[in-house]
Amino acid sequence: MIGAMPFAAELGLEVVDAAGGTAAVTLARSRAVSWNEDSFQAAFVALVADLAAGAAAATVIGAEEFPLTTDIDVAVLAATRGERLVADAHVLAHVGRSFVVATTVRVHRAGNETVCGAGTVKLRIVTP
């Protein structure tokens, strides 16, 4: 799914795990996603959370279906200083064609990790 998004490859987004209603997406810091020399711009915390939520939902739907984000509520909880963001997501609820997915985003710096974001993403399944 993420591989079909041209911006994902350009930014270096990668799904590192996805199965059984869970997923993890990572993003290495680069100039394109930074607001200074060593921190991610806050919008990318929400972006990795959103994409991890979509990847988690995609693990429990048909291959011809696509999870479309309808609402995202992700709070930035701490500084984003680090080398890499990792978003973990797991499906909380799946009713009909609707999903609610919980997300947690961690920033990795010098071998340590800190939770820097958390929230929920709501998705609706569509068939393109």
What is the domain extent for residue 29?
A: 2-126
Max distance between CA atoms of the chain, in angstroms, equals 44
pLDDT digits (tens, 9 = 90+) for 97-126: 999 999 999 999 999 999 999 999 999 999
Q: State the Cα–Cα distance between residues 59 and 62, nearest whole angstrom.
A: 8
pLDDT above 90 coverage of the chain, percent: 84
Query: Does the global pTM surpass 0.85?
Result: yes
**What average pLDDT does range 78-104 have in this prediction?**
97
Specify the CATH number for the domain of residue 71. 3.10.129.10
pLDDT above 70 coverage of the chain, percent: 97
Comparison of pLDDT for 8 and 77, the residue scoring more: 77
What was the pLDDT predicted at 86? 98
Place of tokens 């929920």: 120
Question: What total number of domains does the chain contain?
Answer: 1
Cβ atoms within 10 Å, residue 27: 22
What was the pLDDT predicted at 128? 77
What was the pLDDT predicted at 76? 97
